[in-house]
Amino acid sequence: MNFKKVLFINLDRIGDVIRSTFLFRIFKERYPKCFLACLTLSPANEILSKDPHIDTVMTLPHKEIRDFMSSKKTILHMCLPVFDLLNSLKIQQFDLVINPFSEFGALAIRYIKPKYVLGRVLDRECKFVIHGKETAKFSYIMSNQEGLRSKFKYNFADIYSRILQDIGIKAEAKDLYPKIYIGPRDESFARDFLSKESIAEDDIKIGMQVGAFSKDKRWPIEKFRKLVRRLQDELNVKIIITGSCHEAKTIVADMIDPMKRKPAIAAGKTTVTEASAVINKCDLFISNDTGPMHIAAACGIPVIALFGKERSIPEESRPWGEGHTVIAKERIGNIRVEEVFDAVKDKIESFQIFSSS
């Protein structure tokens, strides 16, 4: 196959987009002269725009659409940003569009008319069909037909790598790692943040993500609070709390309010790329099953990941690679503070052994 222009459509949440970044790297290694574009959502677009394997990143204007919905504009005004996007996609004249599962992507394909399609598309009868034998398997697994994902405990990277097989690329398991890239401006922000918080380079820095997409995926904030106190008092580490603006005003504020010795708060003060740069400065990251957990793994930072099996599948959603610790209980609230503290202590001891050797 000799592709000149290819479009990946990935409109999933930021953690899943990050975990699929190996697709861009492996594809560009196989087709180095190919122009590779990606259509995604904000804030994943900010991270992908730093990826050297992607030539251009386009963003579905869902924020603009929400703004129109909250005003007195008409349905026509709401559609204009989407029409603009579709026209810009059509002008590109893509040889191949890869759309693993997006319904919007399937609709866009009908409009932009690429030469080849891999993944979901609308047929002439406006029914969804899947092009590509292995990609169809991907879609079947991701839709969790007959509870497949819970039953067989698929690994996310293995599921996504099926897409590559349909374009003749056989990837090794060792190459299915996610990676994000930190720009110089974000690197400078992270250094300044640590300096303002009086965190030295040789301090042991532990990042924490106390928020998550749903309440059932959050370890209780009172347990996070107890953990922070023990880590500060017994191990003398520096704690950095990450999170969104909403999390900063809610669960993060509730967590730190009664604390006498406050951790450093990055939550609500960073863009997603700035947060990535701060996470990249940490020695260890403790997180619920959420996007920042995958950011840390993609930066090569050891992760202690906390899972509740009633809402997550640890084998599928765990951070990619070795060096991570997964603590999973049927309900995430059943994880004890002592378990997490002991896991942190083991990690710190391994750091010290490694540095002394």
Q: What is the pLDDT of residues 97-155, one digit of tens each?
A: 999 888 889 989 999 999 999 999 988 888 899 999 988 888 887 777 767 776 777 77
Report pLDDT for 81: 82
pLDDT surpassing 60 at residue 357: no
Distance CA 274, CA 266 (A): 9
Question: What's the rounded Cα separation, in Å, for the pair 103 and 129?
Answer: 11
The count of other CB atoms within 10 Å of the CB of residue 113 is: 11
State the average pLDDT for the chain. Answer: 90
Query: Read out DSSP for 229-293?
Result: HHIIIII--EEEEE--HHHHHTHHHHHHTT-SSPPEE-TTS--HHHHHHHHHT-SEEEEESSHHH
Give pLDDT tens digits for 251-310.
Answer: 999 999 999 999 999 999 999 999 999 999 999 999 999 999 999 999 999 999 999 988
Q: Where along the chain do the CATH 3.40.50.2000 domains lie?
A: 5-171, 184-356
Instruction: Give the C-alpha separation, 347 to 95, whole Å.
Output: 48
Cα–Cα distance list, 192 to 165, 201, 209, 221, 263 (Å): 44, 12, 20, 28, 16
Q: Phi, psi (5° rounding) for residue 192?
A: -65, -40
Concatenated DSSP letters of 49-79: TT-TT-SEEEE--HHHHHHHHTTT--HHHHH
* Helical segments of the chain, H only: 14-19, 21-30, 44-48, 62-69, 75-92, 103-112, 133-142, 148-152, 156-165, 184-196, 221-230, 245-249, 251-256, 272-280, 291-298, 314-317, 337-356
- Given a cut of 80, is residue 84 above it in pLDDT? yes
* Strands 128-131 vs 116-122: parallel, antiparallel or unpaired: antiparallel
List Cβ neighbours of 63 (8 Å cut-off, separation of 6 or more). Answer: 42
Residues 6+ apart with CB under 8 A from 348: 204, 235, 237, 284
Q: Tell me the pLDDT tens digit for each residue of 44-81.
A: 999 999 999 999 999 988 665 555 555 566 666 667 78
Whole-number pLDDT of residue 157:
86
Q: Is CATH 3.40.50.150 the right assignment for the domain spanning 5-171?
A: no
Evaluate whether 34 touches 4 at the Cβ level (below 8 Å).
yes
Please state, in angstroms and rounded to a whole number, the distance separating the CA atoms of residues 324 and 220.
21
Dihedral, 188, 26, 14, 332 alpha carbons, nearest 10: -110
pTM: 0.91
Distances, alpha carbon 105 to alpha carbons 112, 198, 224, 266, in Å:
10, 47, 40, 34
219, 307 contact by CB (below 8 A)? no
Give yes or no for a contact between 209 and 286, defined as CB atoms under 8 angstroms apart. yes
162-186: pLDDT as tens digits = 899 999 898 998 999 999 999 999 9
Report the candidate in 327, 15, 61 with the shortest Cα–Cα distance to residue 180. Answer: 15
CATH architecture of structural domain 184-356:
3-Layer(aba) Sandwich (3.40)
Residue 316, CA distances (Å) to 36, 90, 144, 152, 310 in order: 27, 35, 12, 10, 13
- On the question of pLDDT at 246 being above 50, the answer is yes
